[in-house]
Every structure is written in structure tokens, then in C-alpha cells.
A and B are shown apart, each in its own frame.
Chain A
Amino acid sequence: MIYAGIDIGSSTAKAALIKKNRLLGTHVIPTGYNPLNAGITVFEAVLEKVGVSKIDITAIVSTGYGRASVNFADTAMTEIICHGTGAHFMNPDIRGIIDVGGQDSKAILLDKNGQVENFAMNDKCAAGTGRFIEVMANALEVELDQMGDFSLKADKPSKISSICTVFAESEVISMIAGLQKRENIIAGIHESAAARVAILAFKINIKEPVMMTGGVAKNKGMITALEKRLGFELIVGDFAQENGAIGAAVLASRL
């Protein structure tokens, strides 16, 4: 019996398939305008990749911001439960999760059985989310996936004091005008975002080991900044970005 999880985030849509306790495969595409279309496309793509067809799928759980739009799913669950379940599935020792997504960042605390004990999410503003880094990348005219590498080359990270994305952007622009090194500005951006995310982790008294999930987990600059803030190392798995979808698939198997 094969189960599917579909995670429609604000910037990417992810799908995962599992069979028994084994991950069969995953797929990621940009979300675009229409979350339902994204859901259909990513689902079909993962089916093709793994080489199975729709009728082989016993149950589907959707998650993410667009979870309600995926009308072919059996049920929808929040990212919090899905990330918790996904992380526990990939590594049963995990007690804490930090997920930095496009719109939302969250810190999740798991109990020994992988059940969510507590969670915290960023408040309304975009500070400390993937969106924040994206806006800054635009302001600096740097490709988003280059941000991490630039950041690691910094010698003296700049200090960005504004929490608000709009103000921080103007701060960054005046730093560019002030001829500060791009590497340092970028490291400063990551430190600022990391500070916001770390606060969420402190709020729930996060316990180690902590897994980092979400698209931003690919950004080494952000990981480094976060580890510095938190004072411990983060575990980044191969499927950080697809973790929510994996969790959704696991939950589908329990329906």
C-alpha cells in the first residue's frame, strides 16, 4: 500500500510517496498562482518518478498553506503536525524542529513518541522567514541560492537593526550605498533572520537534537547563523524541503 503527502507552500509545492516504512520518492515544483494545479502537477510528477499510478495510492494527505485547495486529498493537516511526523519518521531521535518556510517560520517541540508537544510561529510580519531573505536578495541583486555561499565569505557581518522587512530593506540599501561589502551585508541579513527564528526556539524551550526543515535549510549561511545563535548544531537531512510532504504521507498511512 502506497501513501502520498502533498505540501503546498507559498513558494514551492512538494509531494512524497511512502510504502510501509520506506520513502519511495519526492518531487518539488514552484507553486505558481494556482495551488490546486500545483498539487495536481507535483502529484503526477512524483507518481511518474516512482513509476506507480494513481490507483496504487491508498490515501493522500495535504498540508501547507494551500492544503485546503487540494480537493483530491483525503484530508488536510497543518504543516506543524506534518513536519513533526516527517522528522520523526526520518529520524526517531529528533525532539525539536526548526522550519523556515516562505511565509512562516516555526519551532516545534516533539515528545519521545514523536507527538507535537508545543510549537511557536512568527507573528504577522515576515521577519525571520524565507520571504525576508528573498526580499533582501532582490535588493542586493543576488540569486537566492547564492546567498548562503556569499554569506560564508563574510569577515565582519553587518548589523541590521530593523526587524521590519520594509525598514530592513532600506537599511540594506543604505549599506550598499555606504559601500559595505556584499558578503558582510548578506551575513548580517542571515544573522538578523536567525535571531528572529531562534526566539521561536527559545519560546518553546526546544530540546536537542534539532532538525532543520523547509526550503531555507539549503542555505548554508542561514544554518551557520542559526547554529551560532542557538549554541548547538542542527541536523539537516537530505529531504529537508520535502519533510512536510513526507510527514503528510506518513499521516496518510495512519488514516
Chain B
Amino acid sequence: MKEIKIFHDATKDVSAFADKIKAKQKKIVGTLCSYAPEELIYAAGFHPMRLFSSKSDIILAEQHLQTYCCSLVRGVLEDSLSGRLDFLDGTVFPHTCDSIQRLSDIWRMKGRYEFFADVVLPVKLNTQSAKIYMVDVLTKFKKDLEIAAGREITDTDLRESIKKFNLIRKNLSKIYALQSQKPGIIKGADLYTIVKGSMVMDRDEVADLLPAIAANIEKMDTPEQNGKRIVVSGSICDSPDIYTAIEAAGGVIVGDDLCTGQRWFEGQILEDEEPLTAIATRYMDRIICPAKHSSATARGENMISLAKKNKADGVVFMLLKFCDPHAFDYPYLKEFLEKENIKTLLIEMDDQQQNLGQLSTRFETFIHYI
């Protein structure tokens, strides 16, 4: 599909892609977590771009972060310090885990880019005062963006932005739903690329392409195959090879609990409400990440319903080594799922190194016995 190829090209060489955006006189603001309010960045006329590690050797970042920091945080800092992110005009850090919190400090002290903002969102997402605080923080962030952009962000700007992101989200949800209904209709690596591309590419372009992809897939017949239905869970899964390896082992990905997946795009923003409040509501209500709190069992319940809704045969936890929030949740999520007779597999990964041979063996064994 030619639309998917555009996504592949963009994600393969992010910096070349960034140059294209810059050629359009747009400023690029990097973000480090799926709680970064992209809608505001876009409304300010900037290009929001989710940052991933280029997975290069860690050399310069070694002088700032110890080896027991997750490879995503170390990798992104390495990219910044070595100049691979020089296309950035700014960065936004929503507060999430302890590692990102300190990365933000180091990043700010280095001061490599013009614009810098900490968007310290609440950790608690289940109270009224947290909601008020969320709106307050977004209001402040909006002001910061206005200063950086040298112009006001009007309600109309916000509403348009909300519409754009809703459209993107809705279509991604649709593609995922189709994949779950007709598993294998889209290759895992393509699925990954579409989501990742939607996080880094020009959102206008994404909003144009996604409906076409969804429509195309919808017309396709259910592929002949009877792979085991797999749901993937973790922080991010930034490697198409892993998707391919799961498929090669006889699995098919029917859903995920990832920030490079459903956690990022599920949930619409109400379009007929006061925009900032509507945005805040979506970030309060979306599928929760383990660095946030809504109840002690929220993620477990969500995992079960996700697995059941997608009739999952098994859940694969892809955890980044040294990622505390996810490592803390793993034992109970596993327990919850096993109570429902859903089998799980734990893979501890490091962005910099993936021993695919060993991974394949583990996937094959797992898929064989579920």
C-alpha cells in the first residue's frame, strides 16, 4: 500500500523527515511521553514530534546518566548531546517517571534548544483537585507556547487541533479494531510503523493518509491464517523486528497496551466543550500508564478487558530494563491475567541490544504452548 510506504520512509530516517518539516518554516517541538499535550503544541503552530532513541552507542550520555537508567532515556540524551536532534527547536517534558524527571533537569541545564517546558501533570488522575490542577498546568503551558510562538492560541486554533487529533486517533483505533477482527490483515511491522509515524510525521499528512489506509484495509478479505492472538504490553516497543518475530513464531498481534500503541491514541476529546477542559478530561480518563494513579487495580482491570475484548491467547510483556513503573506492575498484571487463564510471557529488553535469535526461540516456545 503506497500510503503505508510513506510512513515507512518517514520513520526510517527521522532527521531527514525533520528537515522537510523545517523547510516548511515549521518549528519542531520534541516530546518524551504520551502524556505530552500534543494538541496544544500543534495549536501553537509547532510540529509535535515524539522522540525515540536512535539506539546508537551510549558515549556522551555516560557522563550524565548511570548504566542503571533505562535505555530510552539514555538513548535520547545521547542523541541530543551528539547533535542528532539539532533539528529540534524545543522540547516538552511531561512529568512521568523518576528517570524522565531527572532527564528533564539535565536537558534543561544543557540548554541546547530554544524552547523548554516542564509540564508537570498530576500523578493522581482520580480527584477533582487533580483535574483542576491539570487544567491549570495546561493553561500555563498554553501561555508558555504563546510566548514562544509570538502569537495567541485562540479557541478556534484549539478546536481545530482537537479535531485533527481526534481524526487521527479515531482512524488508528479503527485500524486496530480491523486487525483484531481480521487478524493478519495488516502486518505487525506495518502496524508499528503507522503508529510511530503518526507520532512523528506532519499531522496534517497523517490525518489525510490514515482514513485511506483504514478504508483500504476494510475492503480486504480476512487473510488465511490461524496465528495465536497476542496482546503486547509495556512502555514502548520501538522495534518492528519484534512484531515480525512474533508473527514468524506463529502469533498475530491483535491489540496492545503500549505508549507506541493504544495507550497513546485511545480516547477522544469532546469537541463541544471548553477546549482546555476537554483536553484535560481526555488525559485524565485515557488508559492509564503505570507512572500515574487512578486506582490500585486500574491497569489490571484494563488489561483483562483488553485481553478479553481481543480474545487474546496470550499477553507478551515487553519491558525495558530499568523501567521501574512497568516492572512494579508486572507481577500483579500477570497474576490478574492468569486468574483469567490468559498466559503471559515476560521479555526484558534494552533498546541498544536485542538478541533476536534468542527472542525468536522464546516467542516460538510461548506460542507453541498457549
Contact = CB atoms under 8 A, between A and B. Distances in A.
Interface of A: 123, 161-163, 167, 170-171, 174, 195, 198-199, 202-203
B190 to A, nearest CB: 26
B54 to A, nearest CB: 14
B353 A161 contact: yes
Given A123-B67, A174-B357, A161 B352 contact: yes
A160 B352 CA distance: 11
Nearest to A124: B67
The 8 A-B pairs of least Cβ separation, nearest first, read A161-B353, A199-B62, A162-B353, A203-B63, A174-B357, A161-B352, A195-B57, A199-B59
26 contacts: A123-B67, A161-B352, A161-B353, A162-B353, A162-B355, A163-B67, A163-B353, A167-B353, A167-B355, A170-B355, A170-B358, A171-B355, A174-B355, A174-B357, A195-B57, A195-B59, A198-B59, A199-B59, A199-B62, A199-B63, A202-B59, A202-B60, A202-B62, A202-B63, A203-B62, A203-B63
Q: How large is the interface on B (under 10, 10 to 19, 20 to 34, 35 or more residues)?
A: 10 to 19
Contacts of B57: 195
A174 B353 CA distance: 14
Contacts of A161: 352-353
Contacts of A195: 57, 59
B305 to A, nearest CB: 37
Contacts of B60: 202
Contacts of A163: 67, 353
Interface string B272-309: 00000000000000000000000000000000000000
A211 to B, nearest CB: 22
Contacts of B67: 123, 163
Contacts of B59: 195, 198-199, 202
Contacts of A199: 59, 62-63
Nearest to B353: A161
Nearest to A195: B57
A155 B117 CA distance: 47
A123 B358 CA distance: 27
Interface in B25-39: none
Contacts of B352: 161
Nearest to B59: A199
Nearest to A177: B357
Nearest to A205: B63
B60 to A, nearest CB: 8
Q: By CB atoms of chain B within 10 A, which of A167, A171, A199, A202 has the most?
A: A199
Interface string B45-71: 000000000000101101100010000
A162 B71 CA distance: 13
B34 to A, nearest CB: 27
A162 B63 CA distance: 19
A198 B352 CA distance: 18
Nearest to A123: B67
A84 B63 CA distance: 23
A204 to B, nearest CB: 10
A163 B62 CA distance: 13
A198 B62 CA distance: 11
Interface in B335-360: 352-353, 355, 357-358
A195 B78 CA distance: 14
A199 B65 CA distance: 12
A89 B147 CA distance: 60
A66 to B, nearest CB: 28
A123 B66 CA distance: 10
A162 B357 CA distance: 14
A123 B69 CA distance: 14
A170 B63 CA distance: 28
Nearest to A198: B59
Contacts of A123: 67
Given A170-B358, A199-B59, 15 more contacts: A123-B67, A161-B352, A161-B353, A163-B67, A167-B353, A167-B355, A170-B355, A171-B355, A174-B355, A174-B357, A195-B59, A198-B59, A199-B62, A202-B60, A203-B62
A161 B71 CA distance: 13
Contacts of B358: 170
Nearest to B55: A161
A171 B63 CA distance: 27
Nearest to B67: A123
A171 B357 CA distance: 10
Contacts of A174: 355, 357
A199 B62 CA distance: 7
Nearest to B57: A195
Nearest to A192: B57
Contacts of A198: 59
Interface string B83-99: 00000000000000000
B180 to A, nearest CB: 34
Nearest to A204: B63
Contacts of A171: 355
A50 to B, nearest CB: 43
Contacts of B353: 161-163, 167
Contacts of B357: 174
Interface in B313-370: 352-353, 355, 357-358
A254 to B, nearest CB: 34
A163 to B, nearest CB: 8
Nearest to B62: A199
B58 to A, nearest CB: 8
Nearest to B358: A170
Contacts of B355: 162, 167, 170-171, 174
